[in-house]
Amino acid sequence: MGSNQNIKNNRLKDLLQFISAVLIVISLVVLSSFIRIRIDLTEDKRFTLSGPTREILSGLKNDIYVQVYLDGEMPIPFKRLKRSVKEMLEEFRIASQRKVDYEFINPADVKNAGEREARFRELIEKGLNPVNVQAGDEEGGSSQKIIFPGMIMNYNGVEIPVNFLRNNINIPAEQNLLHSIEGLEYELIQTISTLSSDTIFKVAFIEGHGEYSEIEVADITLGLARFFTVDRGIIGGKTGILDKYSAVIIAGPGNEFPETDKFVLDQYIMNGGKVLWLYEEVAVNTDSLIYGETVALYRPLNIEDQLFRYGARVNPLLIQDMECMLIRLTVMSGGTPQQVVPAPWYYFPLLTPSQKHPITRNLNKVKGEYVNFIDTVGLDPAISKKILLSTSSFTRLLSPPFIIRLKEAEVIYSENEFNKSNLPVAVLLEGVFPSAFRNRMTYDLISDKNLKVKTESVETKMIIVADGDIIRNEVRRTGTSVTPIPLGQDRYTGQIFGNRDFILNCLNYLVDENGIMELRSRELKLRLLDRNKIKTERMKWQLINMAVPAIMVILAGILYLFIRRKIYVKNYQ
């Protein structure tokens, strides 16, 4: 009788314990819905948003809707990229108090081929760049597949395209994927900041000194218009005319600057203005090469003394680089018909971006044409100098005047003849600059006689590039129509170089006030499987992955039964 009573008591006790456990679990689940605890345990903090990102997201006034067109069947690397994009957007959604919403769309998921092509054209017109990849099928074959690794952000009816895939042909696909993931936060928050900002920065292209025409910088102007209000205009010696602009661009001048314009630029810098200088001091008429040769001539622009005072000097020497562009050359051997063959053109170097600065980190090579190089001068501790672009390890210098002949592309040079290396072509200067007009009579240069001349700047920055062609897009002329070719694109191979991204990053860095550009310095570690071990130890790791979990479950079950039996035997005794 007593034994039966003990059994009933134990069963009641077990039932109460079970009900209590269930109630505790339910309570914890309910409480967890009100308490958000997110812990990033990764070594490189890949799921942790930066302070500037959180500040911008928390200040959003309206909703942002994101349409991501990276969905459907795709190779595994793109699936990993899709997962990273989704994780980043989820972090944005939480940090913005659900003001950021997103949707993944398969652009190929339509009824027929005609509708699919129409949708592809629509996405391309909106600014998304397609990628052709080899996709495998169930029968072991492969086929070409078009993927759009990008998104469209919509804010108050304004749509902005964001392409987040890095496609540098000089590095392996795994590193391109990693660089794309590293840059996700920057690409997203830069666009959101631009869309949601109450203040739109203004930038201006300076005219009046033979700078590139509007059509020659049309592509980069379109790119800059995503972030800034873009103007063009002549300085005309009017002091204060540049004060409303956050940055100004001097793109490929061909004529000398008058002292009045130099003074206006100088005082603009003294008041915190930012300048992107792109020019060279060796003039080459490329059009003359159709006749087989042209001349390289020294062409001073009367800004040498001004930039020297700021801490840099563009040297009037032309660079030849063994790492260069290929041009199409028409040749004839013996009596055979003319053939078009690719040949290296040493005057068009492929410049190497610095991986130590956010402006140029993870950029493709930048295409240059008839490039000079820069010396940093002076030891002023108030000015910081950082190299952004440089030549390869096999470079040489030519001093004008000299003749450039098209037949030089047929000459095979020895590496020993290219005895210079890593010459700076683009330099960032930051700090407090002395005025180029300090200790000079400026009364005749001032249009506003009440202006107080500043002899030292506030904290500011500028970028000097010893090649104006870096910002110039080529132009396709068909009859009377003129169409700009995308900046940095090789018109023969279609390959895209990093010119456009470089210029955009330069301007964004110059006007950046909240530290967003520093996100481009983010570095994630590439953790790849050891392919040799995959081949030699394949069976071992398959057994471990299949057998160890099953064995652990069995051992846990045995342990549970052992403890349960021991408890019940003790209670019955």
Per-residue pLDDT, 290 = 83
Residue 523: inside a domain: no
Write down the pLDDT at residue 295: 94
Of 383, 258, 388, the residue nearest 310 (C-alpha): 383
Q: Among 286, 304, 306, which residue's Cα sits nearest to residue 296?
A: 286
- Residue 29, pLDDT score: 72
Q: Looking at the structure, do residues 162 and 254 belong to the same domain, yes or no? A: no
Specify which residues 154 forms β-bridges with.
65, 159
Q: DSSP of 127-140, one letter per residue?
A: TPPPEEEEEE-TTS
Could you tell me how many residues make up the chain? 573
- Residue 164: domain span: 51-194
- Residue 489 structure tokens: 């694109």
Q: How confident is the model at residue 500 (pLDDT cuts 50, 70, 90)?
A: very high
pLDDT for the residue numbered 339 = 75
Please provide the DSSP assignment of 484-518 as one string: EPPTTB-TTT--B-SHHHHHHHHHHHHH--SSGGG
Cβ atoms < 10 Å from Cβ of 45: 12
Task: Give the up-direction half-sphere exposure of residue 140: CA atoms within 13 A in the CB hemisphere.
Answer: 0
555 and 487 share one domain: no
Kindly state whether residue 263 falls inside one of the protein's structural domains: yes
pLDDT value at 525 more than 60: no
Residue 336 sits in the same domain as residue 384: yes
Q: Identify whether residues 388 and 285 lie together within a single domain.
A: yes
Confidence check: pLDDT of 144 > 70: yes
Of 136, 165, 194, which residue sits at a domain end? Answer: 194
Position 569 scores a pLDDT of 65
In a domain, 253, yes or no: yes
What own/partner pairs with CB < 8 Å and gap ≥ 24 does 488-492 have?
488/364, 488/366, 488/367, 490/325, 490/367, 492/328
**CA angle 233–236–241, rounded 5-degree value:** 65
* Same domain as 254, residue 158: no
Q: Above 80 in pLDDT, residue 31?
A: no
* Residues 165 and 210 reside in one and the same domain: no
Higher pLDDT, 12 or 321: 321
Q: Residue 31: inside a domain, yes or no? A: no
**Residue 408 resides in a domain:** yes
155 and 216 together in one domain: no
372 and 231 together in one domain: yes
Are the beta carbons of 456 and 450 closer than 8 angstroms? no
Would you state the pLDDT for residue 254?
Answer: 94
Q: Does some domain include residue 562?
A: yes
What is the Cα–Cα distance from 573 to 569, expressed in whole angstroms?
6
pLDDT of residue 320: 95
Q: In the structure, what pLDDT confidence band is assigned to residue 79 with cuts at 50, 70 and 90?
A: confident
CATH number of the domain to which 115 belongs: 3.40.30
Number of H helices, E strands in the chain: 12, 25
| 491 is a domain residue | yes
Mean pLDDT over each residue of the chain, to the nearest integer: 85
Number of domains in the chain: 3
pLDDT at 333: 59
Angle at the Cα of 535 from the Cα atoms of 532 and 540, rounded to 5 degrees: 110
Report the pLDDT averaged over residues 62-69: 91
Please report which confidence band the pLDDT of residue 529 belongs to, taking 50, 70 and 90 as the band edges.
Answer: low
| pLDDT(355) > 70 | yes
Q: What is the mean pLDDT of residues 60-78?
A: 87
Tell me the whole-structure pTM to 2 decimals: 0.79
Instruction: Spell out the alpha helix ranges (H) of 333-387.
Output: none
185 and 230 in a single domain? The answer is no
The reply to whether omega before 353 is within 30° of 0 (cis) is no
Task: Give 449 or 434, the one with higher predicted confidence.
Answer: 434
Question: What digits encode the pLDDT tens for the residues 207-220?
Answer: 999 999 999 999 99
Question: CB within 8 A of 235, min separation 6: which ones?
Answer: 206, 208, 241, 242, 260, 261, 264, 265
Contact 473, 220 (CB under 8 A): yes
Tell me which of 138, 170, 194 is where a domain ends. 194
pLDDT at 572: 54
Query: Are residues 187 and 239 located together in one domain of the fold?
Result: no
128 and 92 in one domain? yes
Handedness of CA 84, 86, 89, 91 (dihedral sign): negative
CB 214 within 8 A of CB 225: no
What one-character DSSP code corresponds to residue 47?
T
- Let me know if residue 488 belongs to a domain: yes
Confidence class of residue 8 from pLDDT cuts 50, 70 and 90?
low
Same domain, 223 and 316: yes
When pLDDT is averaged across residues 37-52 and rounded to a whole number, the result is: 65
Domain end, chosen from 477, 497, 517, is at: 497
* Domain CATH number, residue 348: 3.40.50
The mean pLDDT value for 83-109 works out to: 90
Is it the case that residue 32 has pLDDT exceeding 70?
A: no
* Higher pLDDT among residues 40 and 252, named by residue: 252
For residue range 111-122, list pLDDT tens digits in order: 788 888 888 899
